[in-house]
Amino acid sequence: MARGVDAVEQQSRSSIHFQRAVEPQPAPGSADLGIRVRSAIRRVQDFLLAAQAEDGHWCAELEGDSILESEYVLLMHYLGRTDEAKVGKAAAYLRKKQMPEGGWSQYPGGPPDVSASVKAYFVLKLLGDEPEAPHMERARRAILELGGIESTNSFTKLYLSIFGVYEWEKAPAVPPELLFFPKWFPFNLYEMSSWSRAIVVPLSVIWALRPQCEVPDHALLDELHATGAPRKARPAVGGERGRAWASFFLLVDWMFKAFERVGLRPLRRAALRRAERWILERLEKSDGLGAIFPPIVNTILALDCLGYSREDPIFKRQVAELEKLEIEEEDTLRVQPCLSPVWDTSLVLNALAESDFPGDHPACERATEWLLSKEVVEPGDWRVKNPQGPIGGWYFEYANEFYPDCDDTAEVLTALARVRLTGRVGRRSREAADRGLAWLLAMQNRDGGWASFDRDCDRQFLTYIPFADHNAMIDPSSADITGRVLEALSLYGFGRSSPEVRRAVDYLLAAQEPDGSWFGRWGCNYIYGTWLALQGLAAIGEDPASEWGWRAVEWLEGCQNSDGGWGELPASYDDPNSKGKGPSTAAQTAWAVLGLIAAGREGSDAVRRGAEHLVATQREDGSWRDVHWTGTGFPKVFYLRYHYYAVYFPLLALGTYARLAERRLRPEQGPRLVS
C-alpha cells in the first residue's frame, strides 16, 4: 500500500497533537492539579494492569436492561429448566430492578417501558408471584397505563405467542420466504442491518413453525389487555412518505398472513431449509449466531422447531454460548447481551499509550498478540454489499468471524499504531494493520461516512416494516464511527488531501447539528458524537479554529455541570431538548474533556475543571464507577453500561491532559509515569 504502517513513524505521538498559533496560559493551581492528575494516572494504570487476563486481554461486564433476564427465564421454561436455582435467581434480579412506580425501564432513571414491563410481569407470574402481591399490582397498573400488552413491540408479541398468551395472528409476519428475495430487490435480507438479519432469520423459522409451550392457567395475561386503542410506543415519523410506506408494509403483512391462513406457501419447505443452512454457516467461528443474546436465543428456539435433539452437539453448543453470558451471584443472576473483549482491550491499550505507559511493556505486548489472534481472515456477511473488498478487520467479541465492524477495526488500528512494537510481534502487527486498513477503506459509504458492519445499508423505507420497531433495521453512516476512523487514518499517513478523508470530512461537517453538536449513535449521545467528530477532524488536520469548531466548543462548554463534569441521559434520544443534560459521569466527562482538547481548548477553565472532577471522583482502587448508563445499543430501545467506560476513558482524558500540561509547564522535567 502507498500508505501504511511505515507512515506511523512520521506522525506525532497522538493524533490530537497539532500546532497552535497561541499557547494558552496555565490556570492558577495547574501545578498542583498536575501532581494529582499524575497520581490518578498511576493508580488507574495499576488497576488495569491488575485486571488484565493472563493471555493479555481485558473484558469487563457489559450490562443491559431487564429484557435479557426475562427472555432468559422464558427460554429456560421452554427448555423445561424452570426449576433450576439460577432461574429463581434471575427472577430475584427482576424484582430488584423493578421501579418503585411498578414498571421496568430501559436504563436507570428512565421511564417505564411497556415491553420490558410486560415480559418481567409475565416471568414473575409464571414463576408463582401472586397477582395480588403489591409489586405485581404496581406492575399491572403501570403496564395498563402504558397501553397494555397491545402496545408492546413486535418481538415481544412474537415471544408471547410462543407461550400462548398472545395470538400469532396479531403478531407481525416474519416469513422465511424473505430469504428468497434476490439481492437486487429493494427489500432483501442484506439490506437489513447485520444484527437485524441475525435476529430475523431464526425468528422467521419460529414464525413459520409456530412452536407452542404451554403455561399454567395462573400465568395467563388476560388482565394486561387495555381497553381502547393501544398506545403507540413510538409515533410514526416521516410525513406522508413515511405513512405511505407504513401502509404498504401493513398490506404486505396482511397478504402474508392471508396466504398462511389458506395454506398457500409453496416455497415454505425450501425456505426453511435455506434459513437452516444460513444459520448453521454462521455458527462457525462464532460464539453463537452474531455472538449476541437475541440471535442466540432465537437460534435455540429455531433449532428446536426444526427438530434438532436437545442432545445434538449443535443445539447444546448454542445453549452453552448463552450460559457464557450469565453472571451468577449468591442471590441473583443477570445476563449480558454479549461480551466485549476486543473493544475493551483496544481501548485499554490506547488509554495506556496516551498516558505515557511504555509500549514495549510486557502487558502491551501480550495484549497486542491477543488482538492479532482475533483478526478476521475469512469473508463474512459484509462481502455481499462489498464483493471486491479485501479481507481484514476485527470484531467485538471473542469469536464472531462473520461480523467484523468498522468501529472495532479503527480502534484496534489506532492501538497498534500507538503501541508500535518491534521484533516478531511488531512485524505481525504491521502486516495485520495493513490488511485492516485496506478493509476499513473499502467499507466507506457512498455518503463519505462509515457505518458499523455493512456498506451502504441505509434504505430508510425499511424502518416502516411492521417487525422493524426495534429501531435498528438499517446501519447508516454515523458521526462517531467516522470520527474514530479519521483518527485511525491520521496515524497511517492519511491527510486532508486524501480523497477518502475529504469525503469523510464533508460528511462530518454536513452532519453537525445547528447548535454545534454531533449525534452519537453508539454512545450516549451528543457528548459522545461531538467528542469523536472533533477528535477525527482535528487528527486529520482540519482547523478547529473554524466556525464548526467554535460552535462545538460553545456547545460542549455550555453543557458542563456545576461540579465540573458532564453528563447526558439516554433521554436525549427521545427528546433533543435534553441533549447534554444529566448527572456527571466519569466517561462523559472524559469525552467532553477530550473533545475540547481536540478543539484546541486544553488550557481552558472548562478542561481544567473537568480534570479536577475526574481526580476528585476517582475511587480508592484507581477506578471510577458510573451509575448512569453511557452506552447505546439501539437508540430509543436498548442501552448499555460498559463497566470499563468509567475506567479507560478517564485514563485517556487525564493522560492526554497531563502530557499537554507538562509540555506547557515544565517540558524538561516531565516525570515518568511508570517505573
Distance, in Å, from the CA atom of 271 to the CA atom of 490, rounded to the nearest integer, reads 46
Phi and psi based region of residue 242 (left: phi greater than 0; alpha: psi -120 to 50; beta: remaining): alpha
Asked if 392 and 405 count as a contact pair (C-beta separation under 8 A), the reply is no
pTM of the model: 0.91
Q: Strand, coil or helix: what is 462? A: helix
Q: What is the 3-state secondary structure of 490-552?
A: HCCCCCCCCHHHHHHHHHHHHHCCCCCCCCCCCECCHHHHHHHHHHHHHHCCCCCCCHHHHHH
- Please state, in angstroms and as integers, the Cα–Cα distance from residue 602 to each residue in 239, 559, 652, following that order: 44, 17, 14
Asked if 259 and 267 count as a contact pair (C-beta separation under 8 A), the reply is no
Distance, in Å, from the CA atom of 634 to the CA atom of 612, rounded to the nearest integer, reads 33
Q: Summarize pLDDT for 8-29 with one digit per residue, the tens.
A: 333 333 333 333 333 344 444 5
Distance, in Å, from the CA atom of 555 to the CA atom of 519, rounded to the nearest integer, reads 13
Residues classed as catalytic: 407
Give the model's pLDDT for residue 17: 34
Judge residue 388's burial from the number of C-beta atoms within 10 Å of its C-beta, 0-12 exposed, 13-18 middle, 19 or more buried: exposed
Distance, in Å, from the CA atom of 614 to the CA atom of 34, rounded to the nearest integer, reads 12
Asked if 539 and 490 count as a contact pair (C-beta separation under 8 A), the reply is yes
Maximum Cα–Cα distance across the chain: 83
Cell, residue 88: 429463581
Asked if 407 and 427 count as a contact pair (C-beta separation under 8 A), the reply is no
Distance, in Å, from the CA atom of 593 to the CA atom of 574, rounded to the nearest integer, reads 25
Distance, in Å, from the CA atom of 29 to the CA atom of 68, rounded to the nearest integer, reads 48
Give the model's pLDDT for residue 193: 94
Asked if 146 and 128 count as a contact pair (C-beta separation under 8 A), the reply is no
Distance, in Å, from the CA atom of 199 to the CA atom of 193, rounded to the nearest integer, reads 10
Q: What is the 3-state secondary structure of 228-240?
A: CCCCCCCCCCCHH
Distance, in Å, from the CA atom of 462 to the CA atom of 246, rounded to the nearest integer, reads 9
pLDDT means per 10 residues in the chain (675 residues)? Answer: 40 34 42 89 97 97 97 97 96 96 95 96 96 96 95 94 94 92 89 94 96 93 79 54 76 76 86 97 95 97 97 97 96 97 98 93 96 96 94 97 97 95 90 97 98 94 80 92 98 94 98 97 97 97 95 97 97 94 97 97 95 97 96 95 98 95 60 34
Cell, residue 361: 511493556
Beta-carbon contacts of residue 247 (< 8 Å; ≥ 6 apart): none
Distance, in Å, from the CA atom of 619 to the CA atom of 390, rounded to the nearest integer, reads 45
Asked if 602 and 34 count as a contact pair (C-beta separation under 8 A), the reply is no
Percentages helix, strand, coil for the chain, rounded to the nearest 5? 55, 5, 40
Looking at the chain, how many residues does it have?
675
Cell, residue 666: 515544565
Give the angle 574-580-584 at the CA atoms, nearest 5°.
Answer: 115
Distance, in Å, from the CA atom of 416 to the CA atom of 429, rounded to the nearest integer, reads 7
The radius of gyration of the chain from alpha carbons, rounded to an integer in Å, stands at: 25
Distance, in Å, from the CA atom of 653 to the CA atom of 447, rounded to the nearest integer, reads 31
Distance, in Å, from the CA atom of 103 to the CA atom of 107, rounded to the nearest integer, reads 12
Phi and psi based region of residue 631 (left: phi greater than 0; alpha: psi -120 to 50; beta: remaining): beta
Q: What is the 3-state secondary structure of 407-446?
A: HHHHHHHHHHHHHCCCHHHHHHHHHHHHHHHHHHHHCCCC
Q: In 101-138, which positions are buried (b, 16+ CB within 10 angstroms) versus exposed (e)? A: ebbbbbbbebebbbbbbbbbbbbbbbbebeeeeeebeb
Q: Summarize pLDDT for 275-313 with one digit per residue, the tens.
A: 999 999 999 999 999 999 999 999 999 999 999 999 999
Distance, in Å, from the CA atom of 387 to the CA atom of 654, rounded to the nearest integer, reads 42
Asked if 497 and 220 count as a contact pair (C-beta separation under 8 A), the reply is no
Residue 59: CB atoms within 10 Å: 19
